[in-house]
């Protein structure tokens, strides 16, 4: 009997350490969910079982803190966290600013002339 209990405890420990879900079925699309929570330190935390939103969180730079798996080894739920933030989009990856061509003096002069002409035509109409 002692061997069975120790084996069961070992299995429980293994199951707990690998974060397996206790259910034998997969979540249907209707059962999948995303839960967003903001704690006292203005950190956003998310629990996500939808693969679509898992990809979005990862693209936005959210840090995955825990992953739960089905018994077959596929991902069931992921838990995410952002750095200190005031909105949930803070984790979005920063894009580099585009460097355009420098404007020539002639181009700047034409733009200023066009704006001046527009102001004159608006003042005449009003």
Assess whether pLDDT exceeds 70 at residue 5: no
Two tokens, residue 19: 């974060």
Cα–Cα distance list, 120 to 9, 115, 117, 125, 126 (Å): 86, 9, 5, 9, 10
Digit-coded pLDDT (tens) for 70-100: 888 888 899 998 866 655 554 455 666 777 8
- Put simply, whether the predicted model's pTM sits higher than 0.85 gets the answer no
> CA–CA separation, 115 vs 122, rounded Å?
11
Digit-coded pLDDT (tens) for 20-61: 555 567 888 888 899 888 877 778 888 999 998 899 888 888
């Amino acid at each position: 009997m002692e061997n069975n209990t120790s084996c069961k405890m070992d299995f429980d420990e293994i199951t707990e350490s690998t974060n397996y879900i206790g259910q034998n079925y997969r979540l249907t699309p209707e059962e999948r969910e995303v839960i967003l929570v903001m704690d006292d330190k203005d950190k956003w935390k998310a629990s996500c079982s939808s693969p679509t939103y898992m990809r979005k969180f990862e693209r936005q730079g959210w840090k995955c803190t825990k992953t739960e798996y089905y018994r077959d080894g596929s991902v069931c739920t992921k838990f995410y966290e952002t750095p200190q933030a005031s909105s949930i989009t803070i984790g979005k990856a920063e894009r580099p600013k585009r460097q355009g061509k420098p404007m020539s003096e002639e181009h700047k002069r034409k733009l200023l002339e066009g704006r001046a002409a527009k102001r004159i035509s608006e003042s005449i109409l009003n």
